[in-house]
Chain A
Amino acid sequence: MAIPISYSFRNLWTRRLTTVLTAAGMALVVFVFAATLMLAEGLRKTLVDTGSYDNVVVIRKSANAEVQSGVERLQASIVESLPEIATGEDGKKLVAKELVVLINLPKRGSNKPANVVIRGIAGTSLALRPQVRLVAGRMPRPGSAEVIAGKSIAERFQGGGIGESLRFGMRDWTVVGVFAAGNTGFNSEIWGDVDQLMQAFRRPVYSSVLFKLRDSTEFDGVRERIQGDPRLTLDVKRELQFYADQSEAMAKFLRILGMVLTIIFSLGAMIGAMITMYAAVANRVVEIGTLRALGYRKGSILVAFILESLFLGLVGGLAGVFCASFMQLITISTMNWQTFAELAFGFDLTVGIAGKSLAFSLVMGFVGGLLPAVRAARMNIVDALRAT
C-alpha cells in the first residue's frame, strides 16, 4: 500500500525554514539554467529573424563579415544580371548592392563609444527585408544626406533620434526616420543612400550584394554559377546561414558557459537537497519505524521520501522559472567578435525552456533525495523503533 502523497507534502511544510532554504538554492540554480537557455534562444531567434531563407548574400571570398568584404562595381553588376533573381511588384529585380561600414558612436547617458553598423541601401533594400518597417518619419531621399536609424540606435545613441543629426565622413547626416525590425540585428543599424555613403567614406566598392531567389531550390545552381565564374571571387550564402555563421562564436561561447555553470551549480544544489533529505530521514527514524510496523513496505517508504524530494525540487523549479521570466525585460547588447559590430539580443522564454527547467529541477530533487530515501527504506524496523 502506498503512503498518502500528503504525507510527503506535509513533511516539507512542517520544516518550513529548511524547505525554503533548500528550495531557494535550487531556485537559483534553475534560474541560472533557464536564463542561459533563454539567452541562447534569444540569440538564435534574433538570427533567424534577421535572415530569410530565400535571400542570398554575396560577399568577397574568405571575408567572414560584410564589413571585411569588398565587391567591385563590375562584379556587383555581373551578379545583378543573374537570371535566377526574383522580380518585384514594380517589375524591377529584387537585388540590392549595399555598403556596410562601422562607425564609432557615443551612447546616450554614459557617453561610451560603441561600433555601429552603417548600411548604404538601395531602393529595393526594404522590399528584401520584410521584417523592417518604418515607424516614424520617412525614408531618406536618394542623393541626399539623410539617414534612418534603427529603433535601438534612436533610443541609445547620441544624435540617433528623429530630427537629430550625426556627423561622420566630414558631413552632417540628418535622421529623418526611425525603423523597427522586430527582433533582428537591423535595429542596431543606420541606413542611408548607398551612393552618398560611398562618396562620404571614399569607398568605391560595395560590401555585399543581396538578392531574392525567384525559386528557392535554385540556390545551388546560383552558387555554382557565381563560384565558377573566373571574374568573380565571391562567396555565396543563404542569408539565414550567413547570419548564423557570423554569430557562431558567440553562440558557442554562450552554450559552453551555460553548460559549465549549470553543471557546477547543480552539484551545489544537489548537495543542498541531499543534506536536507538526510536530515529529514534522521529526524524521523522512529516515525519510519512506526510506518514500517504498521505494514507499509520498503518500497512505499522509498517512494514517499523520493516524492518529498521531488516536491522540494519542483518548488525550487517553479520559483526559478518564475524569476527567470522577468529576465525577458532585459536586452543584452554586446560586441560580436566576428563582426566587431554591436549585437543586441534578449532573453526568450519558450514553453520548451520552461519545461526543460522544471525537468532539470525534478532531476536535481531526485538525485539529491535518492540516497537518503534508500537509507530510510533500508532501516531495520526494530532498531528504528528503539531509536530516540
Chain B
Amino acid sequence: MFILKLIIRNAFRHKLRSVLTVIGVAIAILAFGLLRTLVGLWYHGVEASSATRLVTRNAISLIFSLPISYKDRIRQIPGVKSVAYGNWFGGIYIDEKNFFANYAVDPQTYLGLYPEFVLPPGQRENFIRDRKGCIAGKRLADKYGWKVGDLITLRGTIFPGQWEFVLRGIYKGAEKSTEERVLLFHWDYLNETLRKTIPRRADQAGFYIIGVTNPDQAAAVSVAVDQLFRNSLAETLTETERAFQLSFVSMTEAIMIAIQIVSYVVIVIIMVVAANTMAMTARERIAEYATLKTLGFGVGHIAVIVYGESLAISLCGGMLGIVSTFPAANWIETELSQFFPAFSIRPATIYFDLLAALMVGAVAGIFPTWRGATIRIADGLRRIG
C-alpha cells in the first residue's frame, strides 16, 4: 500500500512534466485506436460474409459478365439450394462524392440468400411487386433523408442514362456487421431497358450468388460450377463469399499495411517521449534512491517504485486516450461520413489500446529502473542535480 502511494505521489511530483507526458501518451493511444479502427473497417466486408454463400463471376475479371442462362445450369448442380444473380450497377447519386454500392439483383432469390437484410413485412412484398422499386439500407436512407415512396435517380456510369427508382423499403441489418449502405433494385428493370438501348449487353448477369445446402459442400460445389463452364465462351470463377471479399481487400493491401506500420510508429514515438521523461525523472532522483537504499530498502523496492511510476503515467495516458477515442470516432463518423460512413470502435481495439499503453510504460521504465536499482549508495549520495 505504502509503495502504491509513493508511486502515485512520485508520478505527480513534477506536475507539468507528468501532465505533458500523460497528454502525449493519450494522443498516441487515440491515434493508435483510430488507425486500428480504420484498418478494421477495411476487413469489415470479409467478416460480414457467410460460409454458405458462393460467388460466381467471369474468370477473366470482374468487368466481364456471364450469360443469364447459367442460372438454370448452376441450379442443377447437387448441393445448390438456390441461385441469385445481379449486376454491380455503379450508379451515382447526384454527385460523385455520394458514393454507395448499388446492385441490380433478382429480389426474390437475393433476399432469400441474404436473411440478414431485414425488411418490415409489407415492404418486402411491395419491393418484389414493383419493377421500378428499390430498397436501401437504413444508414443510407438516414444519410440522404429518404423515406419509403421517395423517387431516387441514379446516373449510370456502366449503364448509361438516368435511372429512376421508387424506394419501396428500408432494410435493417440483423447483425451489427451487416452492411446498411447498399441500394438494391430489380435486375429485370435494368435488363428490359438494356434490351431496348444496348441489346448486346442484355441478358447478362455480373455475378451469381449460390446458396449451398451445407457449408461442407462449398468446395465441391464451386469446383463443379467451374468445371461445368470450362472451355466455354464465359468461363467462371467460383469462390466463397469470404474469399471473394478478401481478394478485393488484398488488392488494396499495400495501403493498409502502410497504415498499420504507421500505427505502430506512433506508439514508438510516444515510447521515446515517455522513456525520455522517465530517464530525466530517474536522473533527478538518484540521490533519493540512494537514501532509500541507505534506509534499508532493497533493490526490488526501488525497482518497483521506478517501474510503477512509469506504468502509472502511461496507463493514465492510455485511459485518457481510450476515453477520448469515442467522441473522436463519433466526430469522424459525422464529419467525414463521405470516407468513413461507419466508424465504430470494437472491443478488441480497446484491448489493443490498453496493451499498447502498458507496452509504452514497460519499455520506457526499463532503463531508469536499471539505473535506479543498480546505483551504488555512495555514488548516488555524492551526486548533485
Name A's B-contacting residues (CB within 8 A).
Answer: 17-18, 21-22, 24-25, 28-29, 31-32, 60-64, 67-68, 101-104, 112-115, 168-170, 201-202, 204, 233, 253, 256-257, 261, 264-265, 267-269, 271-272, 274-276, 278-279, 283, 332-335, 337, 340, 342
Residues of A within 8 A of B265 (CB): 28, 31-32, 265
Q: Find the residue from B31, B61, B157 having the highest chain A CB count within 10 A.
A: B61
* B231–A275 touching, CB < 8 Å: no
Q: A24-B272, A25-B269 are in contact. Are A261 and B253 (CB under 8 A)?
A: no
> Is B17 within 8 A of A275, CB to CB?
yes
Given contacts A17-B279, A104-B61, contact A333 B17 (CB under 8 A): no
Contact B280 A275 (CB under 8 A): yes
Binds A, one of B132-140, B207-215, B254-262: B254-262
Q: How far is the CB of A324 from chain B (nearest CB, A)?
A: 12
Contacts of B280 in A (CB 8 A): 18, 275-276, 279
Contact A340 B62 (CB under 8 A): yes
Contact with A along B4-25 (1 / 0, CB 8 A): 0000000000001100110110
Chain B interface category by residue count: 35 or more
Query: Whole-angstrom distance from the CB of B180 to the nearest CB of chain A?
Result: 20
Tell me whether A332 and B255 are in contact in the complex, defined as CB-CB below 8 angstroms, given that A21-B279, A265-B31 are known contacts. Answer: yes
Judge whether B160 is part of the interface by a CB distance below 8 angstroms: yes
Could you say which residues of chain A place their CB within 8 Å of the CB of B248? 335
**Residue among A60, A102, A271 with max Cβ neighbours from chain B (10 Å):** A271
Given A104-B59, A233-B160, A268-B28: A113 and B279 within 8 A (CB)?
no
Could you say which residues of chain A place their CB within 8 Å of the CB of B31? 261, 264-265
In Å, the complex CA distance between A68 and B62 comes to 11
Bound CA span A271–B259, Å? 23
B residues within 8 A CB of A278? 16-17, 20
A101 to B60, CA, bound (A): 9
The reply to whether B276 and A275 contact each other, CB–CB distance below 8 Å, is yes
Whether, in the assembled complex, B295 has its beta carbon less than 8 Å from a beta carbon of chain A, the answer is no
Q: Contact between B251 and A115 (Cβ–Cβ < 8 Å)?
A: yes
User: Is A21 within 8 A of B20, CB to CB?
Assistant: no
Q: Are B160 and A332 in contact (CB under 8 A)?
A: no
Are B62 and A25 in contact (CB-based, < 8 A)?
Answer: no
Q: Which residues of chain B in 141-165 are interfacial with respect to chain A, using CB atoms and an 8 Å cutoff?
A: 155-158, 160
Whether B251 and A264, one on each chain, are in contact in the complex, defined by CB atoms closer than 8 angstroms, is no
For residue B273, CB closer than 8 A to chain A, the reply is yes
- Report yes or no: A261 in contact with B262, Cβ–Cβ below 8 A: yes
Chain B residues near A17: list those with CB within 8 A: 279
A-B contact pairs, 8 of them (CB 8 A): A29-B269, A62-B157, A204-B200, A271-B24, A275-B21, A275-B280, A276-B280, A335-B251
